[in-house]
C-alpha cells in the first residue's frame, strides 16, 4: 500500500498513531504560531485605520461621517502594501506545507523581469497568485487563532481532567463541565481524559490537514496553470498496436543498418580506392572524387536516419544515456536529470526518448530559449518525463509544433501529455507513461 501523501489521507490508516504523521501534524501546528505572529505585526500596521474605526464605534466616540474615510485608507494600505507581506509569507507556507502534505506545491507566480523594481511590482500585482496569497494571509490571521485556540482549549481541558485526582485535595477544582471537591468525584473526569487522550493526535491531524488543504488550494498553481495541457488521449487497441509498431520499426532499422548502410559503406570504400588510383587532374578522377564525397554525405544522412528510427545507444545502455546524448547534440545547453536504476518496458523507454527528442527540437526551433532541462524519473508505477525551457512560451498544438503527434505516440502506450506554456514562458511539457507499458 503506497504511503499516504497528506495527513488527511493518513487519518484513515490503522497505523496512524504509531507512524510519523501525528508528529508531523504537531510540528505543522506548532510552526504556525511563530509564522502567524510574524505576519500579524505588519498586517496590524496596515489594518490600523480599521482598528481605529472599530474602536471608535465600540466606545461610542463616532464624531463625523469623515471617519468613514478610514475605510478606503485601510483598503488602500492593504491593497498596495499587503501583497509585499503576503508573497514572502506564501513562500514560507509552501515550504512548511511539506510537513502535512508531501505532494509538490509549485508557486503560481510567473518569473518576473529583471530590468528593475517597477517591472517586478507590475508582474506581481497583476497575478492572481498574489491576491490568493493575500487572501490566505488574511484567513491565517482571522481564522487560525480561533481554530487553534479551540484545539488548545481541548488539550488543556484533557490535561486538567487527567491531573484532577492529583490536585483536587487543595480545594474545589473547576474542570470545564463542572466542579469537583474530592478525588472520588475527579476519577470519572480522569477516566474521560484518559479515553480522550488517543483522540488528540487525530484532532491535531484533522486541524493540520484542513489548514494544509486550504493553504494548498490558495498558494499552489492550479492544475490548468501548472500544467496547462492540451490533453489528447487516444482510445485504441494499445497492446497489439505497440507490439506491431515496435516490431516494424526495429525491422526497418535492422534492414537499413545491415543492408543499405553496409552496402553504402562498401561503395564508399571502393570509390575511395578508385579515387586514389586516378589522377586528380583527370576528368575521371574529378568525377570519382565527386561521387566519393556524395557517397560519404549520403552515408552520414543514412546514419542519422537509422539513429532517428531507433538509436543503438538506447537499446544498449538505456534511457538516461540516450537522453544525455540528445542533450550533447542539442544547439542550446540542456541539463539532464535521469536517476533511473531500472529500465522500463521497451515501448515506454522508446516513447520517452522520442518525445524528449521531438520536444528538444521544438525548443530549439520555436521557443527562443537559452537553456532547457530534461527530467526522467519513476514515481510509483509511472515514468514521468519533463522537458522545461526558459523560452517565450505560447506553445499551441494547433500551430504545427508536433504536439498532437507526440500526444498520439504517448497515447499508444497508455500515457498522457500535459503542457504548460503561458505567453512569456516558461514552457513545461510533462509526459506520464505507465512503467510496464500495459
Domain range list for the chain:
1-222, 253-312, 315-434
What are phi and psi for residue 103, nearest 5 degrees?
-70, 145
Q: In this model, does residue 200 exceed pLDDT 60?
A: yes
Q: In this model, does residue 306 exceed pLDDT 60?
A: no
What is the mean predicted confidence (pLDDT) over 252-269? Answer: 62
For residue 346, the model assigns a pLDDT of: 81
* Of 432 and 285, more confident: 432
Q: Does domain 315-434 have CATH number 3.30.565.10?
A: yes
Burial of 141 (0-12, 13-18, 19+ CB in 10 A): middle
∠240-241-246 over CA atoms, to 5°? 105
* Of 333 and 276, more confident: 333
Q: In this model, does residue 399 exceed pLDDT 80?
A: no
pLDDT category at 348 given cuts 50, 70, 90 is confident
For residue 171, the model assigns a pLDDT of: 66
Query: Residue 305's closest CA among 246, 351, 256?
Result: 256
Q: In this model, does residue 299 exceed pLDDT 70?
A: no
* Of 90 and 79, more confident: 90
Q: In this model, does residue 221 exceed pLDDT 50?
A: yes
What is the residue-averaged pLDDT of the chain? Answer: 77
For residue 230, the model assigns a pLDDT of: 40
For residue 331, the model assigns a pLDDT of: 85
Q: How far apart are CA 415 and CA 423, in angstroms?
A: 26
List pLDDT tens digits, range 222-242: 654 444 434 434 344 444 555
Q: How far apart are CA 161 and CA 188, in angstroms?
A: 9
Query: Residue 436's closest CA among 319, 347, 328, 320?
Result: 347
Q: In this model, does residue 114 exceed pLDDT 90?
A: no
List pLDDT tens digits, range 5-47: 889 888 888 888 888 989 999 999 999 999 989 988 887 777 6
Percent of the chain with pLDDT over 90: 14
Q: How far apart are CA 43 and CA 46, in angstroms?
A: 5
Burial of 82 (0-12, 13-18, 19+ CB in 10 A): buried
Q: In this model, does residue 207 exceed pLDDT 90?
A: yes
List pLDDT tens digits, range 117-155: 777 777 778 888 888 888 898 899 889 999 999 999 999
> At 418, which helix (H) or strand (E)?
strand 416-420
Amino acid at each position: 500500500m503506497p504511503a499516504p501523501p497528506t495527513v488527511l489521507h493518513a487519518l484513515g490508516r490503522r497505523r496512524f498513531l504509531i507512524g510519523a504523521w501525528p508528529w508531523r501534524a504537531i510540528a505543522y501546528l506548532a510552526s504556525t504560531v511563530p509564522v502567524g505572529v510574524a505576519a500579524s505585526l505588519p498586517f496590524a500596521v496596515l489594518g490600523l485605520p480599521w482598528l481605529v474605526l472599530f474602536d471608535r464605534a465600540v466606545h461610542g466616540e463616532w464624531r463625523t461621517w469623515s471617519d468613514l474615510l478610514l475605510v478606503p485608507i485601510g483598503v488602500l494600505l492593504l491593497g498596495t502594501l499587503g501583497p509585499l507581506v503576503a508573497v514572502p509569507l506564501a513562500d514560507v507556507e509552501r515550504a512548511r506545507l511539506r510537513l502535512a502534505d508531501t505532494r509538490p506545491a509549485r508557486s503560481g507566480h510567473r518569473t518576473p523581469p529583471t530590468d528593475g523594481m517597477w517591472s517586478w511590482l507590475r508582474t506581481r500585482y497583476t497575478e492572481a497568485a498574489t491576491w490568493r496569497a493575500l487572501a490566505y494571509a488574511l484567513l491565517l490571521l482571522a481564522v487560525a487563532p480561533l481554530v487553534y485556540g479551540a484545539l488548545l482549549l481541548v488539550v488543556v481541558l484533557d490535561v486538567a481532567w487527567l491531573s484532577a485526582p492529583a490536585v483536587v485535595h487543595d480545594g474545589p477544582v473547576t474542570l470545564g463541565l463542572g466542579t469537583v471537591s474530592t478525588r472520588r468525584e475527579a476519577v470519572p473526569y480522569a477516566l474521560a481524559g484518559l479515553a480522550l487522550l488517543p483522540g488528540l493526535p487525530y484532532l491535531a491531524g484533522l486541524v493540520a490537514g484542513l489548514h494544509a488543504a486550504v493553504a494548498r488550494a490558495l498558494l499552489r498553481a492550479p492544475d490548468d496553470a501548472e500544467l496547462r495541457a492540451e490533453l489528447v488521449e487516444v482510445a485504441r487497441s494499445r497492446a497489439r498496436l505497440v507490439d506491431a509498431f515496435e516490431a516494424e520499426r526495429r525491422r526497418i532499422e535492422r534492414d537499413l543498418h545491415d543492408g543499405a548502410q553496409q552496402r553504402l559503406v562498401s561503395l564508399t570504400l571502393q570509390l575511395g580506392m578508385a579515387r586514389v588510383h586516378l589522377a586528380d587532374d583527370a576528368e575521371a578522377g574529378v568525377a570519382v572524387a565527386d561521387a566519393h564525397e556524395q557517397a560519404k554525405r549520403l552515408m552520414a544522412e543514412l546514419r542519422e536516419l537509422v539513429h532517428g528510427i531507433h538509436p543503438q545507444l538506447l537499446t544498449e545502455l538505456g534511457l538516461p544515456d540516450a537522453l544525455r546524448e540528445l542533450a550533447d547534440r542539442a544547439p542550446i545547453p540542456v541539463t539532464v536529470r535521469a536517476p533511473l536504476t531500472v529500465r522500463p518496458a521497451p515501448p515506454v523507454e522508446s516513447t520517452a526518448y522520442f518525445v524528449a527528442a521531438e520536444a528538444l527540437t521544438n525548443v530549439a526551433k520555436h521557443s527562443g530559449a537559452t537553456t532547457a532541462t530534461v527530467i526522467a524519473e519513476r514515481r510509483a508505477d509511472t515514468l514521468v518525463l519533463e522537458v522545461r525551457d526558459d523560452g517565450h512560451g505560447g506553445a499551441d498544438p494547433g500551430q504545427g509544433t508536433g504536439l498532437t503527434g507526440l500526444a498520439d505516440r504517448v497515447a499508444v502506450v497508455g500515457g498522457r501529455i500535459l503542457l504548460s506554456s503561458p505567453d512569456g514562458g516558461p514552457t513545461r511539457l510533462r509526459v506520464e507513461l505507465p512503467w510496464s507499458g500495459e
